[in-house]
Amino acid sequence: MSTGGKSEEPFRLDGKVALVTGGTRGLGEAVARDFAAAGARVIVTGRDAAQAQTVAKSIGGDAVGYAYEAGGMAGVESLSSVVIREVGRLDVLVNNAAILKPHKIEKLTEDEFDQLFQVNVKSALFLTKALLPLLAMGKGAAVVNITAAGGHVPMAGIGAYCASKAAVLNLTRTLAKEWAVKNIRVNALTPGSIATDMILPVDPVKREKFVAEMAAMNLMNRLSDPIEIARAVRFLASDAASFITGQTLIADGGFLA
Ligand SMILES: NC(=O)c1ccc[n+]([C@@H]2O[C@H](COP(=O)([O-])OP(=O)(O)OC[C@H]3O[C@@H](n4cnc5c(N)ncnc54)[C@H](OP(=O)(O)O)[C@@H]3O)[C@@H](O)[C@H]2O)c1
């Protein structure tokens, strides 16, 4: 069974192996760096193997980088088999890789809908399932699924993305119910607006206006830095959360308050 939270430094991840999907940029990269600083051996993924390896090298220690394309089952099979073969252990899985494509429903195509659900829901679920043999091996594993405020409340202009995140929230609770017996905790983390490529316009003028509008939507009146969310992810991944499963931690500056 798990340590029951008896570790002397429960917020640290010493001795744990953690896989962070989409660890090459944005929140995933911040999570990977924070986990490594807290003592974990980190596996990062990106669609480009060389990019994932570059990030892993810059993290240092024994971090490794692998290619992962969440656009189909081939990517799930390829990543899970390489992790099983080359690492052979997994204590923490962070399903972070996702895509956001703005769309009004009347213009949404079937391809766009399928892609959103393939990357954000189906790949994350089947990757988790494929890695179950490793997760179930240790003294207590943790899965953290990254969701979004749009999974809790619908948002005009990104409806299918919101629906995909709502599906992740629901599946998180199902997995928690089915896998508690295997000593695997499954939780979700809902970030508010984070200053990353996913949402920031490239054009500096548009970016300034966008940031001001997004900031005004939460109580803290600003976007979060990725590290602020990464620390909340680490809490759920760590032994400090040893009695928490099937829950969603919301780190959104009060947007959903
Ligand atoms: N940013 C926000 O305001 C915000 C708010 C709420 C929730 N979130 C959630 O937080 C998580 C991280 O978002 P972020 O803002 O850090 O996003 P980001 O900056 O766009 O980074 C996305 C990451 O996912 C990877 N990725 C993208 N498409 C992929 C695919 N088809 N297959 C495999 N990997 C893929 C990217 O890797 P490569 O491009 O290198 O392949 C990158 O590492 C997501 O789950 C997102 O929904 C973000």
Domains of the chain from N-terminus onward? 17-198+225-251 (3.40.50.720)
| Residue 29 and residue 52 in contact, taking contact as beta carbons nearer than 8 Å | no
Rg of the chain's alpha carbons, rounded to an integer? 17
Let me know if 150 is exposed, middle or buried by CB neighbors in 10 A (0-12, 13-18, 19+): buried
Is the C-beta atom of 70 inside 6 A of ligand 1?
yes
Q: Which of 113, 161, 179, 235 is catalytic?
A: 161
248 - beta bridge partners? 188
For ligand 1, the distance from its centroid to the CA atom of residue 44, given in whole angstroms, is 13
Q: At 224, which amino acid appears?
A: S
**Closest approach atom of ligand 1 to CA 29:** 43
For ligand 1, the distance from its centroid to the CA atom of residue 70, given in whole angstroms, is 11
Q: Whose CA is nearest to atom 20 of ligand 1?
A: 198
* Cα-based angle 254, 235, 191 (whole degrees, multiple of 5): 30
Q: What does the alpha-carbon distance between residue 173 and residue 171 come to, in Å, rounded to a whole number?
A: 5
Let me know if 183 is exposed, middle or buried by CB neighbors in 10 A (0-12, 13-18, 19+): middle
For ligand 1, the distance from its centroid to the CA atom of residue 4, given in whole angstroms, is 32
Dihedral pair phi/psi, residue 174, rounded to 5°: -60, -45
Give the pLDDT confidence score for residue 174 in this predicted structure. 98
Give the pLDDT confidence score for residue 80 in this predicted structure. 98
Count of CB atoms situated within 10 Å of the CB of 174: 12
| Residue 126 and residue 71 in contact, taking contact as beta carbons nearer than 8 Å | no
pTM value > 0.95: yes
Is the C-beta atom of 65 inside 6 A of ligand 1?
no
Give the pLDDT confidence score for residue 138 in this predicted structure. 82
| 140's tokens | 């207590």
Q: Of 198, 199, 218, 233, which is best to mutate to test ligand 1, by the most ligand atoms within 8 angstroms of its C-beta?
A: 198
The set of residues, in sequence order, having a beta carbon less than 8 Å from that of 17 and lying 6+ positions away, is 40, 41, 43, 87, 89, 90, 91, 92
Q: Tokens 């640290």 identify what position?
A: 12
Q: Is 66 a catalytic residue?
A: no
List per-residue pLDDT tens for the chain, 257 residues long. 455 556 789 999 999 999 999 999 999 999 999 999 999 999 999 999 999 999 999 999 899 999 999 999 999 999 999 999 999 999 999 999 999 999 999 999 999 999 999 999 999 999 999 999 999 998 899 999 999 999 999 999 999 999 999 999 999 999 999 999 999 999 999 999 999 999 999 999 999 999 999 999 999 999 999 999 999 999 999 999 999 999 999 999 999 99
Q: What does the alpha-carbon distance between residue 143 and residue 253 come to, in Å, rounded to a whole number?
A: 23
| 108's tokens | 């949404």
Is the C-beta atom of 148 inside 6 A of ligand 1?
yes
**Closest approach atom of ligand 1 to CA 23:** 43
**Cα dihedral 90/134/3/177 (nearest 10):** 110
